[in-house]
């Protein structure tokens, strides 16, 4: 019995690649490749399809690309607006029944200013709600008024934070559930958002590729403000003026948390007094975050933080079906319990001393 699958891949800065495949439970038995790309010579077009037929369903995107490259090599094929890697990715995601972000209706949350520990706790709660199927795909925009450092799950507290600076400036240190580096986050000086995504949306994507895929709308929003932004693997958003921000992920069975913080404005002096950027490592656990040049969005755009957030929301809504939503009292109560039991405790905050 044959099963049919379909996938579309929009190449960033390139063309659309569409792959339809049929399979018998073990191999691809039929395939069709289409799109608005350019390809020469004509003989290369049917060669793409023939290369996919017979491929085991267990083939990775890299293995499928090898089949495609081998089929096109004798033809000296010229591909414009796409690559064999894009065709392979579409075929792999088709076989895995991956969904595109455009297949979902998203809920957009902007609950107003919340304490940073509660914002971090909401990430864990909403991630598990999506994983359990109790909530659909969700975008949440953060707002906060406190001064905080949100640092990675696996970072050493002593390597990343200067306790004297933390106490002097009234900093709230919060360890999040995702990996990555420390972020100095004063209320009004950053733009932060979280995506809670069903696992099906990232099937077939490498870990690195999933970062860029989940943040394509952000790049579009920044470009609408005149910022020439792009992704630097694994997880940095940058421009020709400097680094703008960074993303991190946490994965559980059934869902992915993808959150990003971008610098809108920055008190560089205060940051260096709070974070151990460039200082000698003082503990025997963990590694210091690499110091990277940051160029805030306020300087790059000349607009208010609220205008930046509005541009990002507009870019998201232009790409994906969405509706405004609200956090329930149950959501907030669950997050408050997580603050009390986990994110606000010394045991969690200092789990890597």
- For 9-32, write each residue's pLDDT tens digit: 999 999 999 999 999 999 999 999
Which pLDDT score is estimated for 290? 38
Q: How far apart are CA 279 and CA 218, in angstroms?
A: 32
Give the residue among 101, 41, 96 at the shortest CA–CA distance from 64. 96
Say which residue the tokens 């390139």 belong to.
Answer: 14
Report pLDDT for 279: 47
Tell me what the mean pLDDT of segment 124-134 comes to: 99
Classify 160 as helix, strand or coil: helix
Show the CA angle centred on residue 88, arms to residues 84 and 94, nearest 5°. 145
Q: Which residue has 């003989």 as its token pair?
A: 43
C-alpha triplet 254, 345, 108: angle, nearest 5°: 40
Query: What pLDDT does residue 291 have?
Result: 42
pLDDT at 289 over 50: no
Q: Which residues pair with 321 in a beta bridge?
A: 105
Complete edge-to-edge strand list for the sheet that includes strand 236-239:
229-232, 236-239, 242-252, 255-263, 190-198, 138-141, 105-109, 321-325
- Quickly list DSSP for 175-188: E-SS-S--EEEETT
Total-model pTM: 0.93
Measured distance CA(352)–CA(198) in Å, rounded: 30
User: What residue ranges do the domains of the chain occupy?
Assistant: 3-95, 101-349
The pLDDT score that the predictor gives to residue 294 is: 76
Specify the pLDDT at position 62: 97
DSSP string, 88-125: HHHHHHHHTT---GGGSEEEEE---B--HHHHHHHHHH
Do residues 148 and 171 lie in contact, with contact meaning Cβ atoms separated by under 8 Å? Answer: yes
Which element (helix H / strand E) includes 168?
helix 163-168
Per DSSP (E only), the strands in the chain are: 3-10, 16-23, 28-35, 38-40, 78-80, 105-109, 138-141, 147-151, 172-175, 183-186, 190-198, 229-232, 236-239, 242-252, 255-263, 321-325
pLDDT band (50, 70, 90) for residue 256: very high
User: What is the CATH code of the structural domain delimited by 3-95?
Assistant: 3.30.390.50
Please state the rounded mean pLDDT for residues 26-50.
98
* DSSP, res 299: H
- Write down the pLDDT at residue 317: 98
Residue 293 pLDDT = 63
For residue 86, the SS3 value is helix
State the Cα–Cα distance between residues 336 and 320, nearest whole angstrom: 31
Are 54 and 46 in contact, with CB atoms under 8 Å apart? Answer: no
- How many CA atoms lie within 13 Å of 15's alpha carbon, on the beta-carbon side? 17
Q: How confident is the model at residue 221 (pLDDT cuts 50, 70, 90)?
A: very high
Domain 101-349 has CATH 3.40.50.2000: no
CA distances from 54 to 23, 45, 147, 267 (A): 9, 17, 57, 58
Report the pLDDT value the prediction gives residue 295, as an integer from 0 to 100: 84
224 contacts 314 by C-beta, under 8 angstroms: yes
């Amino acid at each position: 019995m044959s099963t049919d699958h379909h996938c579309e891949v929009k190449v960033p800065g390139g063309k659309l690649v569409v792959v339809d495949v049929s399979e018998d439970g073990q191999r691809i038995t039929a395939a069709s490749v289409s799109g608005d790309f350019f390809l020469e010579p004509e003989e290369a077009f049917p060669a793409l399809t023939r290369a996919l037929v017979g491929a085991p369903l267990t083939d990775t995107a890299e293995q499928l690309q090898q089949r495609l490259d081998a089929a096109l090599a004798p033809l000296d094929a010229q591909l414009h607006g796409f690559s064999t890697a894009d065709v392979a990715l579409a075929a792999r995601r088709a076989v895995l029944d991956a969904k595109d972000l455009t297949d979902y209706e998203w809920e957009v949350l902007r609950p107003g200013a919340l304490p940073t520990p509660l914002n971090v706790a909401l990430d864990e709660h909403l991630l598990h709600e999506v994983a359990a199927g109790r909530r659909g795909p969700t975008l949440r925009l953060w707002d906060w008024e406190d001064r905080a450092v949100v640092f990675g799950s696996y970072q050493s507290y002593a390597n990343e934070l200067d306790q004297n600076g933390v106490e002097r400036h009234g900093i709230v240190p919060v360890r999040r559930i995702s990996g990555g580096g420390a972020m100095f986050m004063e209320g009004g000086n950053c733009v932060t958002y979280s995506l809670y995504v069903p696992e099906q949306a990232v099937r077939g994507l490498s870990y690195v590729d999933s970062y860029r895929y989940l943040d394509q709308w952000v790049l579009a929003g920044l470009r609408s403000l005149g910022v020439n932004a792009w992704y630097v693997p694994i997880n940095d958003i940058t421009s020709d003026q400097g680094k703008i921000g960074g993303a991190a992920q946490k994965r559980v069975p059934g869902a992915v948390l993808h959150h990003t913080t971008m610098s809108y404005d920055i008190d560089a002096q205060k940051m260096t007094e709070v974070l151990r950027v460039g200082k000698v490592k003082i503990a025997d656990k963990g590694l210091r975050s690499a110091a990277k040049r940051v160029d805030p969005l306020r300087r790059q755009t000349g607009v208010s933080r609220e205008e930046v957030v509005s541009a990002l929301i507009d870019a998201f809504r232009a790409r994906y079906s969405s509706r405004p939503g609200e956090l329930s009292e149950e959501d907030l109560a669950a997050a408050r319990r997580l603050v009390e039991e986990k994110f606000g405790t010394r045991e969690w905050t200092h789990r890597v001393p």
